[in-house]
Structure 1
Amino acid sequence: MSVRKQLVSGVLLAGGESRRFGSPKAFHLFNEKPFYSYSYDALTPICHEIIIISHPAHQGLYEQNEFTVLVDDEKFRGKGPLAGIFTAMTHGSGDWFVVAPCDTPFITTDIYLSLLDVIDDANEYDVYIPDVVGKRQPLTAIYHKRCLPFIQKQLEKGVYKVGALFDNVNVKYITIRQSEAFRNMNTLEDIRKTTE
């Protein structure tokens, strides 16, 4: 890991509505563990803090644990994952923000290490994004805090698509071949397919 742990904050995105899933997805048990805990466990070895961005209705469900749980900044609440990244950056103390969705139970620390290891002292890139079999994964990526003013400007303009940010910052795409690690669970049918 080329970046010191003290400079790395984790962002666990769990603020969605879970409409397709039918219940709060972050808390669905998968092999006897809630979904969010897989991402949390992947982030823990590399981050000095982890911020969970929660849906307001689900925030209290984390209270029995010692987590930093926030809801999106009120100005941008309900505006998608970019709002969650913005909120984490305005509260987190790191220089780098490692982002993880709450519905990828096969994600591992090694995936994030492979991104962190590419960062060098020249620090010329603002975002490191996995490219997995030609599919880019901006919600399992690493963002530098200097992206914050660009994210804020974009949100204020009402542009909520994460990909639109990449026109304004320097992005490096990292080829990763472990596609299973990025498999996300949008529906109960997705879970059923993993057990077949």
Structure 2
Amino acid sequence: MKDALKAVVLAGGQGSRVGYQQKALLVYQGQPLLVPILERLRAQVAQVCISANQALDTYRSFEPKVFEDVTEGFLGPMEGMNSAWHALEGDWLVFVPCDNPHFPADLVDRLWQKQQDTGQHLVVAFDGERLQPLYCLMHRSLQASLAAAIAKGHLSVWRWIDENPHALADFSDVGAKAFQNLNTLALIEAGSVG
């Protein structure tokens, strides 16, 4: 089963923190931020896909499988996750955000192992201090819960996770820095996470 896993890069936002640019396409260490994220994921899963709502042709030049949100209005990562289940086949998906090229190289292995150990349909990364809600492994059976939350206007991934049974994959050995998002122009232009 793990050999058939797909991963989704959540790049469907408006980029409000970076001047309404496509964050994943901004240059980081000499190349688009998206490139090292795709490379790291391709080493861990069978297929990588991109959730995007703008610059679709550009995204397709990096990864052929690109899909848009089912619901209009830039509703955030919850809608990207929900839309993935409409666009993709298979029972399991791994999700990661589009602004961290330094996430653990064994992210998928650890998420999958925790799922195998616990049987939970939702496994979320835990950095030793806090939940990292956009780094998760999810089963298709949770799509209805995502859709219901979105229909009620509950768009917080934190809240949704809290409301659903889940397991935590322990990444305390690598810590919070491995999950630090480059969510400002200053961080991206600096070319490092500090």
TM-score by length of 1: 0.87
Amino acid at match of 2:113: D
Distance 2:113 2:193 in 1: 33
Q: In structure 2, what is the equivalent of residue 141 of structure 1?
A: 136
1:195–1:4 CA distance, 2 compared to 1 (3 A):
closer
Deviation at 1:195, TM superposition (A): 7.4
Q: In structure 2, what is the equivalent of residue 17 of structure 1?
A: 14
Q: In structure 1, what is the equivalent of residue 85 of structure 2?
A: 89
Q: 1:63-120: CA deviations, max 9, x gaps?
A: 33442111111x3541110000011112211211100111001123312211112222
Match for residue 186 of structure 1 among 169, 179, 183: 183
Q: In structure 1, what is the equivalent of residue 46 of structure 2?
A: 48
Q: In structure 2, what is the equivalent of residue 152 of structure 1?
A: 147
In the alignment, structure 1 residue 69 sits paired with structure 2 residue 66: yes
Q: In structure 2, what is the equivalent of residue 126 of structure 1?
A: 121
1:161–1:122 CA distance, 2 compared to 1 (3 A):
closer
Distance 2:100 2:162 in 1: 27
113-122 vs 29-38, which deviates more?
113-122
Runs of 4+ in 1 over 6 A off after TM superposition: none
Distance 1:133 1:190 in 2: 23
Q: In structure 1, what is the equivalent of residue 106 of structure 2?
A: 110
Q: 1:126-185: CA deviations, max 9, x gaps?
A: 211111131210101111111101111111112111123224432111221213221111
Distance 1:182 1:117 in 2: 19
Aligned residue-pair number: 190
Gaps of 5+ in 2: none
Deviation at 1:4, TM superposition (A): 2.3
Distance 2:178 2:132 in 1: 11
Are 1:82 and 1:161, in contact at CA under 8 Å, matched by a contact in 2?
yes
1:187–1:11 CA distance, 2 compared to 1 (3 A):
same
Partner secondary structure for residue 118 of structure 1: helix
Amino acid at match of 2:129: G
Amino acid at match of 1:39: I
Partner secondary structure for residue 148 of structure 1: helix
Q: In structure 1, what is the equivalent of residue 24 of structure 2?
A: 26
Deviation at 1:59, TM superposition (A): 1.1
